[in-house]
Amino acid sequence: MPRCRRPILGVAMLRLEAVNSGYGRAQVLRDLSLEVQAGEILCLLGRNGAGKTTTMQTIMGLLPLMSGRISLDGEDIGSLPAHEVPRRGIGYIPQGRRLFAGLTVAQNLEVGLMTRGSGREVLEEVLELFPRLRERMGQKAQTLSGGEQQMLATARALCLRPKALLLDEPTEGLQPSMIEAIRQVIVKLRADGVAILLVEQRVDAVLSVADRVAFIENGRNGEILSAEALRADHSIVDRYVGV
Amino acid sequence: MLATLEGSVTAAVLALTAVGLSLVFGVMRVVNIAHGEFFMLGAVIAYVLTRAISGHPAVGFAVALVVAPVLVGVLAVVADMTILKRLDYDPERTIVATIGLLYIIQQLTLMSYGPDARPVEAPFNTRLALPWFEWGENGLAMYWPWGLSTTSYKLAVIGAAVVLLCGIWAMMARTRIGLVMRATQADRDMAQAFGIPVEKVYAMVFGIGAGLAAMAAVLIVPIQQAHYLMGADPLLLSFIVVIIGGLGSLPGTVVAAILIGLSDGIISVFFSPTLAKILATLLVGLVLVFRPQGLFGTRGV
């Protein structure tokens, strides 16, 4: 199968090589390898419990790496302590948003800005993308609507000026207009050269935005296909995701 | 009125101690049973320092007020890094570990400092007579009855506690350190995912919590005396206060400290200290039954 590379931006920004990881003694990921290039959206598809969220938490250093190598822009990040990983330039938008409850919108963004010492102009850029947040700056994060919370979670990650962005089910439970808003931001980030790793349950949403799709099954690599190929032939999706 | 004043002193010291405990629980989810021993250590160190430094008692006391909390804080940071961190801050195992810490500190103090209760001289201690108002032949009269008095030092303790509590509040609400602490409190993993070195934050919080207890002890030691078993009472009262106020809620802790401190003072004067303790414990029971998250607590997720 020909590997689908973007001709100009052919740099592997985020790379996982034979990664083994899991919770305590329960191993979840087995020799998983992935590559996300700058300016590319790679979507991770798989059944529940296949290891999608585990992959993201392992990249962030929140789960111990048993073996294998994770690198960002050529630098080994797998051996760094968890709090050093985001400082290298990875923004994480976790499943269920996980905002800092009790902190205001402005303070949540402030934590994001502090991670890599980003200045006020970064905040302005981010608020440009999510004007709704500007009106809510003094409000506590947990009082926002679901869509606004997702915007805030995304904005918080963008405050890092990330080289790579991890999105775990960003459209879960959102109304269509919000999904569209989030999608547009993701596409814009791709155009800016950010490497994007996306976990998403809804296959249609994936195919409309992803460049490549990597299947994951029981913590192991499945096939990696271009989104175009999948759009043409839907059967392989059914085999891995079983809808 | 006198009872209220005595109660306010208790409340002030209790608020400082309990805020330290509450901070540690709120941010780290660690129930620190050794908190009372950090309190006791503060008092003992204050005694040793005021003894070692000659000259005006105020000099030694001022040094103790700075040095004792710092020393105790450093000790707590070391305990955090060597013990709690290795237990991975597991809620149950840290309880057992801090119980162990309690006995180690207590017995070491007994072996080195001895079993005596020793006083520390207050830096200033002017007797202030309090006026009393009464309806007499000439209408409202004011006079100074014998025995109705407080000392300038007690007022200073209340003032110092208020200033310190305002300082803690400002630190939590206005500074970056406070922001980092509150983010860690809200979600430890996400704090790490945004570059916050959670282990350093934990060590710092544990140090600050212990330092606050030591500070409270230095303030109270000219009124009470330094003794190796003096940590038990503040520990129990702090837990009562923290449970009533809501675990991890600073305003709740302060309000509950004032409530418990004042009622303790007033009931102890008019009835008996035992009754005060009974009522406080009863209140804890009622709060736990009817409002488990505490008066000011928010339901945890």
Nearest residue in chain A measured CA to CA from B199? A83
The C-alpha of B154 sits at a distance from chain A's nearest C-alpha, in angstroms, of 36
Taking an 8 Å cut-off on Cβ atoms, the answer to whether B194 and A86 are in contact is yes
CB contacts of B247 in chain A (<8 Å) are: none
Q: Chain B residues within 8 A (CB-CB) of chain A?
A: 176, 179-180, 182-183, 185-187, 189-198, 298, 301
Q: Rounded distance, CA B36 to CA B161, Å?
A: 18
Q: Could you tell me whether strands A195-199 and A164-168 are parallel, antiparallel, or unpaired per DSSP bridges?
A: parallel
- Shortest distance between the Cα of B39 and any Cα of chain A, in A, equals 30
**Nearby residues of A214 by Cβ (< 8 Å), 6 or more positions away:** A34, A42, A43, A44, A45, A221, A222, A223, A224
* Contact list, A86 vs chain B (CB under 8 Å): 192-195
Q: What is the pLDDT of residue A129?
A: 92
Query: A68 in helix, strand or coil?
Result: strand
What confidence score (pLDDT) does residue A25 get? 85
Digit-by-digit pLDDT tens for chain B (301 residues) are: 777 888 889 899 999 999 999 999 989 989 999 999 999 999 999 999 988 887 777 888 889 999 999 999 999 999 999 999 999 899 899 999 999 999 999 999 999 998 888 888 777 777 676 666 666 555 566 566 655 667 788 888 999 999 999 999 999 999 999 999 999 999 999 999 999 999 999 999 999 999 999 999 999 998 888 999 999 989 999 998 988 888 778 888 999 999 888 888 888 778 888 888 888 888 888 888 888 777 776 654 3
Pick from B179, B185, B301: CB nearest A111: B179
- Encode pLDDT of A82-134 as tens digits: 999 999 999 999 999 899 998 999 999 999 999 999 889 999 999 999 999 99
pLDDT of residue A21: 94
Query: CB-CB: which of B176, B190, B298 is closest to A94?
Result: B190
Residues of chain A contacting residue B301, judged by C-beta atoms under 8 Å apart: 101
Contacts of A118 in chain B (CB under 8 A): none
Q: How many CB atoms lie within 10 A of CB B119?
A: 13
Least Cα separation, residue B276 to chain A (angstroms)? 35
Number of H helices, E strands in chain A: 9, 10
Kindly report the number of other CB atoms within 10 A of residue A176's CB atom: 8
Q: Which of B192, B194, B197 sits opposite A112 (nearest CB)?
A: B194
Low-confidence ranges of chain A (pLDDT < 70): 1-11, 242-243
Strand partners, A165: A91, A196
Domain ranges of chain A: 1-89+162-243, 101-160
Nearest chain A CA: its distance from B178 CA (Å):
11
DSSP chain B: -HHHHHHHHHHHHHHHHHHHHHHHHHHH----TTHHHHHHHHHHHHHHHHHHS-S-HHHHHHHHHHHHHHHHHHHHHHHIIIIIGGGTT-HHHHHHHHHHHHHHHHHHHHHHH-S--B----S---EEE--EEEEETTEEEEE--TT-EEEHHHHHHHHHHHHHHHHHHHHHHHSHHHHHHHHHHH-HHHHHHTT--HHHHHHHHHHHHHHHHHHHHHHHTTTS-B-TTTTHHHHHHHHHHHHHH-TT-HHHHHHHHHHHHHHHHHHHHHS-HHHHHHHHHHHHHHHHHH-TT-SS-----
Q: Which of B187, B198, B298 sits opposite A83 (nearest CB)?
A: B198
CATH class, A1-89+162-243 region? alpha beta
Distance from CA of A101 to the nearest CA of B (A): 6
